[in-house]
Amino acid sequence: MSRDLAPPAPSRFRRFWGLAPGTVFLNHGSFGACPRAILELQAELRERMEAEPVQFLWRHYDEQLEASRAAVARFVGAEPRDLVFVTNATTGVNAVARSLKLKRGDQLLTTNQDYNACRNVLAETARRAGARLVVAPVPLPLRSPDQVIEAVLRCVTRRTRLAFIDHVTSPTALVLPVWRLVRELEGRGVPTLVDGAHAPGMVPLDLEKLGPAYYTGNLHKWVCAPKGAALLWVRRDRQPGLEPAVISHGNNTPRPGYSPFQDRFDWPGTFDPTSWLCAGEALAWLGRRLPGGWKELYRHNRLLAVQARRLLCQRLHLEPPCPEEMLGAMATLPLPERFQGLPRNGKIDAEQLRLYDQFRIEVPFMRFGLPERRYFRFSAQLYNSLPEYAFLARALDVL
Ligand SMILES: Cc1ncc(COP(=O)(O)O)c(C=O)c1O
């Protein structure tokens, strides 16, 4: 590697994470990254679990889970009785979609910017019932959030039984106008399932006020909990009839003080619950890193993403595909022209692999739209710094 392409000094917060030295990790979005302190807590919990498996997993499980659930519920503006842990957002979407009682001819509504795994759940649910999956075409580039509202509402019909709305889209990293979407859709009698896979810890949440029928979100991404921690919040009128993806003891074993919804979800069979138990502490730990707490962290990460996008657009002569008001802590940009039109040649694009192998930069490349365009997405977490994006710009220039 030439000298002017030596990696930049990392942010002062990087030492709190165990990310491999010499790597430039600009892909918090895909799987998150858990800080050392939280992994140590998880290791302690695992030791306790293996020392006294029955005491840990059966006798004291509920009280330990409750402390973490209460902290997460407070963080997302919910009451604990309406919130359960699930392993990931995919599981949350499965529980909701597969509990729907659909009839032939019914419609499920999603957008073209949804996440492939979740699209598959909706498509399979629709197929089994003889229902139809309708995909609203949200344009890209996009000038205003109004275009999202228009694209979605235009596809609502009398047969729409559920609208699936991403809070933050995966391929395009747009923060969608969920407040307006939920209000408009629920106001038309269309229940909404918000896929907030990226939202907790990236944007402030107030689920009671937002009031969708269902909301699922990951805690292992922007809350930095260990992998396997996510939430599912369900509005009270929608809780009866909602089955978890895995049916277990809870269906006939009520516990005093718990909602039937919690009973059904809290024990999905023997598993390692330590990521759920760590979620509350992960929230508290990350919230203590900046003097202004979570409010400052939201602002910090968003500002870093905005500044990084300006820098990359300027250095690589790129047109941003959406206004800054639609950004959270990630952004997607089109790859420079010389990357366009090349065929896909494996699970991960060859240039993405080269970016890592030559420069140790982790950034996902994606393909989107018709005709297909190629994009890259970068994330901004506390352990990132602006010089890392300048390094990415130089690397993309010579790749
Ligand atoms: C919008 C969206 N939904 C769902 C998921 C799935 O998350 P998980 O793999 O944790 O279930 C992702 C993952 O990145 C995502 O971006």
pLDDT tens for each residue of 300-309: 999 999 999 9
The pLDDT tens digits of the residues spanning 54-84 come to 999 999 999 999 999 999 999 999 999 999 9
pLDDT band at 218 (very low <50, low <70, confident <90, very high): very high
Q: Are strands 230-234 and 214-218 parallel, antiparallel or unpaired?
A: antiparallel
Distance of CA 243 to CAs 97, 226, 246, Å?
A: 10, 25, 8
Largest CA distance in the chain: 66
Helical H segments across the chain, by residue range: 28-31, 36-51, 53-54, 61-75, 89-99, 116-129, 146-153, 178-187, 207-210, 260-266, 274-287, 293-316, 350-359, 386-398
Question: To test the ligand 1 pocket, which listed residue (88, 166, 275, 276) has its Cβ within 8 A of the most ligand atoms?
Answer: 88
Q: Are strands 132-136 and 107-111 parallel, antiparallel or unpaired?
A: parallel
What is the predicted pLDDT for the residue at 4?
59
Quick check: 322 and 366 in contact, CB under 8 A?
no
Residue nearest to atom 16 of ligand 1 (CA): 170
**How far is it, in rounded angstroms, from Cα 230 to Cα 90?**
9
Which is the closest atom of ligand 1 to the Cα of 167? 1
**How far is it, in rounded angstroms, from Cα 249 to Cα 257?**
16
Quick check: 178 and 165 in contact, CB under 8 A?
yes
Residue 10 has pLDDT above 90, yes or no: no
Which is the closest atom of ligand 1 to the Cα of 195? 3
**How far is it, in rounded angstroms, from Cα 214 to Cα 94?**
12
Residue 6 has pLDDT above 90, yes or no: no
Residue nearest to atom 10 of ligand 1 (CA): 88
Residue nearest to atom 5 of ligand 1 (CA): 197
Residue 198 has pLDDT above 80, yes or no: yes
Residue 1 has pLDDT above 60, yes or no: no
What's the residue count for the chain?
A: 399
Mean pLDDT of 237-252: 95
Q: Which positions ≥6 away from 28 have C-beta within 8 Å? A: 221, 222, 329, 330, 379, 380, 381, 384
Say how many Å lie between the CA of residue 117 and the centre of ligand 1: 8
Q: Are strands 160-166 and 192-196 parallel, antiparallel or unpaired?
A: parallel
Q: Is the dihedral of CA 25, 309, 169, 201 positive or negative?
A: positive
The answer to whether the predicted template modeling score (pTM) of the entire model surpasses 0.95 is yes
Considering only CA atoms, which of 388, 374, 389 is closest in space to residue 140? Answer: 374
Tokens in use for 140? 């890209």
Mean pLDDT of 104-124: 98
Say how many Å lie between the CA of residue 119 and the centre of ligand 1: 11
Say how many Å lie between the CA of residue 169 and the centre of ligand 1: 9
Which is the closest atom of ligand 1 to the Cα of 221? 10
**How far is it, in rounded angstroms, from Cα 342 to Cα 179?**
38
Cα within 13 Å of Cα(276), Cβ side: 27
Residue 5 has pLDDT above 80, yes or no: no
Considering only CA atoms, which of 361, 221, 216, 217 is closest in space to residue 286? Answer: 221
**Ligand 1 pocket: which residues have CB below 6 Å?**
30, 88-90, 115, 117-118, 166, 170, 195, 197-198, 218
Strand, helix or coil at 193? strand
What is the predicted pLDDT for the residue at 3?
46
Say how many Å lie between the CA of residue 90 and the centre of ligand 1: 6
Distance of CA 142 to the CA centre of its chain: 21
Which is the closest atom of ligand 1 to the Cα of 92? 11
Say how many Å lie between the CA of residue 91 and the centre of ligand 1: 10
Say how many Å lie between the CA of residue 13 and the centre of ligand 1: 26
Residue 316 has pLDDT above 50, yes or no: yes
Say how many Å lie between the CA of residue 275 and the centre of ligand 1: 17
Amino acid at 218: N
**How far is it, in rounded angstroms, from Cα 395 to Cα 399?**
6
The neighbouring-strand residues paired with 63 are none
Quick check: 207 and 215 in contact, CB under 8 A?
yes
Tokens in use for 72? 């997460």
Quick check: 105 and 132 in contact, CB under 8 A?
yes
Q: Which positions ≥6 away from 104 have C-beta within 8 Å? A: 129, 130, 131
